[in-house]
Amino acid sequence: MNTEDREQSIRNLIAQMTLEEKVSQLTYTSPAIPHLGIPEYNWWNECLHGVARAGLATVFPQAIALAAIFDEGFIQEIARAISDEARAKYNEAVKQGNRGQYWGLTFWTPNINIFRDPRWGRGQETYGEDPCLTSRIGLAFMQGLQGNDPDRLKTAACAKHFAVHSGPENQRHTFDAQVSKKDLFETYLPAFKMLVEQGVESVMGAYNRTLGEPCCGSTYLLKEILREKWQFKGHVVSDCWAIRDFHENHKVTASPEESAALALNNGCDLNCGCTFPYLTASYKKGLVTEDAINTALTRLLRTRFKLGMFDKPETDPYGSLGREVINSEKHRKLALEAARKSIVLLKNDNHILPLDSKPKKILLVGPGAANPHTLLGNYYGIGPRLVTILEGLAEKTRGKYGINLEYRHGCLQYEGNHPSNIQFGAANDAEVVIAVFGLDGAMEGEEGDAIASDFNGDREYIELPPWQFAYLQQLKTSGKRIILILTGGSPVAVPEDIADAILFAWYPGEQGGAAVADILFGDAAPSGKLPITFPASTGQLPPYEDYTMQGRTYRYMKEKPLYPFGFGLSYTAFRFDYLIPSHKEISSGEELKLQVQVSNLGNRDADAVIQIYVSKDDRGEDDPIVSLRDFRRASVPAGGSIMAEFTLSASIFESVNAAGEQELIPGSYTIYAADAAPLPVAAERGASKPVSAKIVVK
């Protein structure tokens, strides 16, 4: 159906509806209207790292782990696999008459909020702390979900949560995020802007207020920025029951009728919740017009038409996708590759890893080793086999003749052991101890889901839980070599000397244990990079409720972190040979080309992640110390070199002023090519020495 015919069909449908029928279509549980041929539809569907909450699906690594891969093309491939499974599930469900929740085609993904504070339990859903990385990975995921035809969507993606949303979870229904225009447009909004400009179908409003207005009814966010400034044409959905918060918690309205009207009039089209049914009463009270209802309904029907819900089945280009693609062998292999690429090697003293010297006895210890919840994070599907780290190592050592793998639980995941039950003796005979500690989805996550959290899914402190740390300290006194594997979706602060080697495995998905084993034994080289700074302690963090960016993330943090943004070691050493810019001066509208040569000094092929940063030499107190502007993952052969070329616009040197406006300020800038944020701590931890060049902006 062409665009003109589609729009006429929408007008014809709306013209035949009663007011009550129109209002019924503005909630996430949209009932059928049989006499108009409109089927029942449930708008609420999830696919954060695989189709979620709808039974069997491939479980890929959690979103924060996908960001650690620093590879847009690969992320898009994962999202295409997810959308294949989504279409297959939808096709099967429709055949069975199932129009229920989690079986549709409108997915409330990706979460492109900025992970500004590592205590936020939902930070695991994001792509980290940096607006450039978040924008690029979020866009790749969106494009993989939606496909290449803007008028024929494969599935519909949703950029959430708009805007300035990142905890605290226990205050999200009442909190007012106060933020400067500079921070708003420099940090919190760039990813939303990019996805909107590139055609994301939906935007979800946040629970909180921002600058005094509830986000799902904000004149400033929804009308002035989203609709007018960015010209967004898709539909806006509320977060679930967020509109009810207007009168019950934010206290900006006095009744459900007023709340529904405020949201609709300011551009929210779809209510996940129970408030929009009051729009009929709002209309009778003169709070909304029928034209406003028609506008919202037009946007929603347009999405359904673009998804092919009113087309003949034989014209559906995705109609042949069936259950055979769901958790297929191809997708399981993709999940394994993703897990391998996402794991970050933080420390490797004396090259203890990989374990290619084949120790005779390995003790595997720790509550995370056999816990499948350390694979999943939140918003997950169900795989037929979730490979825990215990299972991955058991399978791996089965093929390594003569290795004796022994497993002990060691200590509890969520609380300390009874004093009489501490287990240390098994370490005495081991040549190496692999200790699996950290977090799982019961300890951090969304409000209500993280059942072992005392802070509604958030964390009070970022250090390793004290009972786990105490056990590790005792284990260290054994004098054995210790390889520490940390799981979680947010930074975990541990003393750098607690172990000989440290791997951060995130929530690595259904193949996580196999991927960890591959890394440990050298069948894959670690290549993940941190998408978020790991502070050394909770004491380095500003107050959690403060949304000012000063002191936060690698761009503004003056304290010395434990590990910097972009950091991650390999089993080889890379050298950045040189960075050559095409010219030394640049003006607005011009492009800058960079040539970066990277050499692999080791004896094994490996992936390097080349990161391009910019710093203003004469920066002000409010300017970022340094900012990521581009990146690329590239394979570098053993003993060889590659030349990477980047083409960048003059906009990479732009700043955001106090009014929230982009401006290109003349002066001297330094541009870096590095494999971690070019901060002193990166070199201390073993990152390659960056190369740099001076550029004059005229």
Angle between helices 131-146 and 72-95 (to 10 degrees): 40
Closest CA to 623 of 657, 648, 585: 657
**CA atoms 280, 282, 284, 287: torsion sign:** negative
Backbone angles phi, psi at 8, to 5 degrees: -70, -40
Largest CA distance in the chain: 80
Looking at residue 213, its amino acid is E
Gap between the Cα atoms of 538 and 557, Å rounded: 13
DSSP three-state, residue 209: strand
What is the full DSSP assignment across 67-110?
Answer: HTT--HHHHHHHHHHHHHHHHHHHHHHHHTT---TTSSSBB---
Q: Is the CB of residue 531 less than 8 Å from the CB of residue 565?
A: yes
Catalytic sites, residue numbers: 239, 444
- The residues, ordered by sequence, that sit 6+ positions from 497 with a Cβ below 8 Å of its Cβ are none
Q: In what order do the strands lie in the sheet with 202-205?
A: 158-162, 202-205, 235-237
Residue 144 tokens, joined: 């993989």
Burial class (CB in 10 A: 0-12, 13-18, 19+), 418: exposed
Residue 76 tokens, joined: 């898009």
Q: Is the CB of residue 155 less than 8 Å from the CB of residue 107?
A: yes
Gap between the Cα atoms of 331 and 344, Å rounded: 22
Dihedral Cα 372, 513, 108, 222, nearest 10 deg: 110
> Which secondary structure element, helix H or strand E, spans residue 505, and what is its range?
strand 501-506
Tell me 458's DSSP state: B
Gap between the Cα atoms of 111 and 121, Å rounded: 13
Instruction: Give the other-Cβ count within 10 Å of 70's Cβ.
Output: 29
Q: Is the CB of residue 164 less than 8 Å from the CB of residue 210?
A: yes
Q: With helix as H, strand as E and coil as C, how does 167-232 read?
A: CCHHHCCCCEECCCHHHHHHHHCHHHHHHHHCCCCEEEECCCEECCEEHHHCHHHHHHHHHHHCCC
Looking at residue 239, its amino acid is D
Residue 431 tokens, joined: 């040549």
Q: Residue 633, by phi and psi: left (phi above 0), alpha (psi -120 to 50) or beta? A: beta
Gap between the Cα atoms of 299 and 203, Å rounded: 12
Q: Is the CB of residue 63 less than 8 Å from the CB of residue 49?
A: yes
Closest CA to 196 of 295, 70, 112: 112
For residue 161, cis peptide bond before it (omega within 30 degrees of 0): yes
- The residues, ordered by sequence, that sit 6+ positions from 98 with a Cβ below 8 Å of its Cβ are none
Gap between the Cα atoms of 364 and 380, Å rounded: 27
Residue 458 tokens, joined: 């958030």
Looking at residue 149, its amino acid is D
> Which secondary structure element, helix H or strand E, spans residue 135, and what is its range?
helix 131-146
Q: Is the CB of residue 654 less than 8 Å from the CB of residue 529?
A: no
